[in-house]
Structure formats: C-alpha cells, structure tokens
Amino acid sequence: MIDDSVPRRYRTAAMHSESIPLAARADGALARAVSAADTEEASAAETELYRRFAPRVRLFGLKHLSDRAAAEDLAQQVMLVVISRLRAGQVRDPDQVGSFVLGTSRMMAAGLRRVERRRAALHLRFDSPDERVYANDLSLDATRIAPCLAAIRERERTILLLTYYAERSASEIADALGSTPGAVRVGRHRALAAMRECIEGGKTS
Amino acid sequence: MTTCPSFGELADYWTTDATPADVERIEEHVFECERCARLLSEADRLRAGIGAVAQSGAVQAFVTDAVLNRLARDGVRVRSYSLDPGEAIHCTVWADDDVVVTRLRADFTGIASVDAEMRLDSGEQWAHAADIPIRDGATELVLALPASEIRKAPVAPMRLTLRGAAGSARTGVVAEYVFHHEGALERNS
C-alpha cells in the first residue's frame, strides 16, 4: 500500500518493488520502502538500509575521525538523520541514497571534528588522561594475522609494518629502504595479496 | 556507478599515500557498491590487525626507527643492543621485556639487500632471513625480535652473518656478530 501523503518520487518504484525481498532490492527501492505506509514494511526497510550503510559510514568515520568509538557514533547519527529524512520524504532522489548517506557523513564528520578539536584543546589545557579508544578490539584477527605476517617475505613485512603501524608514506618508506615509491606500493599490494591468501586459506607457508 | 577499485587501491585508502581525490573517489564508489564496502572493511581489519600484532611485540622484522618510535609511544617495553662488525656481546632477556632490538652496525655501501643467517656454535642453523631491504650506504640494520621468541632460544653462543644478497654490487659477507645468549632473567633473581 502506498499512502497518498508520500511524495510521487517515492511512489512508483516502491509499488513495483513490493514483491522483491528487501535484501535483494536496489538501494533506491529500499529507500522508497522506508516511507511506505505499511509500518512493518517500512521498519524492515530501515533495518536493511542500516545494515547496508552503517558499516560504510563507520569506515568513513575511521578514515576521517580520531578513533573507532567516534566512527561508531558517526554511523549511528548519520543513519538516524538519513532514515528520518527518508521517512519524511525529504530525500530528493531516493535512487541516489548512497550519495545522500555520503554527503550526510561528510557534513556530520566535519561537525564531530570541530567538537573533537575543542575536546582535545580542553584535554591539553587541563592535562586530562586521553580517553580515546584504540584498535585493541581485534584480538581474534590478530591471532590469525600474526602467523601470516611471519610467513611473508622480509621486505614485504617491513613495508607493511612501516605503512600500517608506523604510518609512513610510500615515499618515506622508499627513502628508508633505498627503493622507489612505486616499488613500495607494488610490494605493499603483493604483501596484502599474500596476507589475504594466507588468512583465507589458513596456511602460513 | 564507477568501476570497482582493486583490493590494493582500497587498501591504499587507509594509508597516508591516499590523496584527497583518491579518498573522495573511493568513498563515492563504496557508498554505491556493497561489495567494495565489504572489501574496504576487510582492508581495515587487515591493517588494524597488523597494527595490533606489531603493538603486541609479537612480530620479528627488520624495521626502522619509525617503527621503534611507534613502539615507544605505545608503551611497548624494548631492550636494545648495538653491535659493531665482529663484536661479541653477552645478551639476555628480562621477564618484562616485550621486544628485543638489535642494531647491527656495518658499512652497507653497495648493498641493496642482505641475507642473514644465525648459527649455533655447533654449526646448526637457528634462523635465516633472505632479501632484507637496506638503503645503499646505510650504517646499520635494525632487527626487532619478540622477547617471547628469545626466551625460547638456546642458552649458547650464536653467530649472525650478514651477506650481500643477489642484486647488490657487493655480495659475500658484510659483517658477523656473536651473541652469547645468557637466557631469560627475572628481576628478583
């Protein structure tokens, strides 16, 4: 059932996609379903939309904010805004819901960064202990990663540690190892491929 | 929707090499493509896992001061030794050590990479590493070892030999060092 109060741009595709399971629907059809009058259908669509996009917002947050807790907060805040806007029929083009989620993420991350800067300034001023959460919640992955990291070539292990632990650029690594940035990137990609193969295959040699 | 990036490109997103344009391009794609979003997440888990392993001190690697500085910032307890070519040292590992770092000094002029071999006095090979990257003209090679591995090492003299690897202008022995490993010690012993 499509409610007359739903804007026209939300109606047509929603009517056509009602028979398709939510998990199989395109993002746009799902976005339209959020504003459906059938509250059970709308609720299920919201859940599916959250399942699809919250992890992406979390990844975006990890890149642009200071830590995993902030990324988690961002994901929840962004999805709340997105779903509210969809419910109200305020998303101009539901077929571009991915772009809408990304745009909302960018806007809200900028706001959170301002808050973070103010918080960091207060910490410095009052010498408070740092309460940020770091990446220590991956112990399961670490137990699988350690033997694979030990099994790859020396050169590649050095590149991975310098890249992902010391957070050095390819140029800096190339300077340190007497190589070229291009060769470092190639080595990094090769190392990651070997790591994935090792982790997926459970083999270490 | 744009073409799916490779896993390597997605992994580059998490590095300092990614330009703002790269970041924007990856994000625009990932918010339209669930498969690539999953791969980006996998790349994140991989880099975070590598960081966690390094932070736990559980990885043996030839590193640079950038890694040692990060270990220090993370509060990892590092014991350091420095050796000149031909030098023999008495070394041990304490119960609260996480990582043992050895600075192997030598003239690495004309060397693109080295092979390293550690042998017991009996001649038995204890460890071996090939194609260790080194900058031509560098004056030291930094080896980081998990203290847990050193604790398992035999209490015996061991000889470490560095050789110029294939592709270097200089091949053959670059330097040798002798470690008189004295085992693991407790603070109250």
Domain parsing of chain A, residue ranges: 8-126, 139-201
Interface of A with B in 31-90 (CB under 8 A): 52-53, 55-56, 59-60, 62-63
Contact A97, A28 (CB under 8 A): yes
In chain B, ranges of CATH 2.60.40 domains: 61-185
ipTM, two decimals, is 0.93
Alpha-helical regions (H) of chain A: 8-17, 27-34, 39-64, 68-87, 97-126, 139-151, 154-160, 170-177, 181-201
pLDDT at B151: 86
Q: What's the per-residue H, E or C state across B71-121?
A: HHHCCCCEEEEEECCCCEEEEEEECCCCEEEEEEECCCCCCCEEEEEEEEC
Residue of B1, B27, B45, B53 to mutate, interface with A, max A Cβ within 10 Å: B53
| CA angle at B115 for the pair B114 and B120, rounded to the nearest 5° | 135
Strands (E), chain B: 61-63, 78-83, 88-94, 99-105, 113-120, 125-133, 140-146, 157-164, 172-185
CA pair distance B188, A68, nearest whole angstrom? 40
The string of pLDDT tens digits covering residues A10-59 is: 554 444 555 678 788 899 999 999 887 678 888 899 999 999 999 999 99
What token pair was written down for B60? 């043996």
A5 exposure class (CB count in 10 Å sphere: 0-12, 13-18, 19+)? exposed
The reply to whether A162 touches chain B by the CB within 8 Å rule is yes
CB pairs A-B closer than 8 Å = 164
In this predicted structure, the answer to whether residue B50 has a pLDDT above a threshold of 80 is yes
Nearest CA in chain A to B61: A158
> Which CATH number fits the domain B61-185, given the four candidates 1.10.3470, 3.90.550, 2.60.40, 1.10.150?
2.60.40
Residue that has been written with the tokens 């973070």 in this structure: A116
What token pair was written down for A141? 């992955």
The string of pLDDT tens digits covering residues A175-198 is: 999 999 999 999 999 999 999 999
Residue B7 to residue A193, Cβ atoms within 8 A? yes
What token pair was written down for A196? 């994935």
Residues of B in contact with A60 (CB under 8 A): 27
CA pair distance A90, A71, nearest whole angstrom? 25
Show Cβ contacts of residue B159 under 8 Å, excluding neighbours closer than 6 positions.
B118, B119, B121, B176, B177, B178, B179
| CA angle at A185 for the pair A109 and B20, rounded to the nearest 5° | 25
Residue B132 to residue A195, Cβ atoms within 8 A? no
CA pair distance B170, B109, nearest whole angstrom? 8
HSE value, Cβ hemisphere, 13 Å, CA-based, for A9: 13
Does residue B184 sit in helix, strand or coil?
A: strand
| CA angle at B167 for the pair B60 and A184, rounded to the nearest 5° | 55
The string of pLDDT tens digits covering residues A108-155 is: 999 888 877 777 676 665 654 443 333 334 444 678 899 999 999 999
The CATH class of A139-201 is: mainly alpha
Kindly report the pTM of this predicted structure: 0.82
Mean pLDDT of A82-105: 94
Task: Measure Cα distances from B8 to A64, B17, B29 in Å.
Answer: 20, 12, 15
The string of pLDDT tens digits covering residues B125-180 is: 989 999 999 999 999 999 999 999 888 888 889 999 999 998 878 889 999 999 99
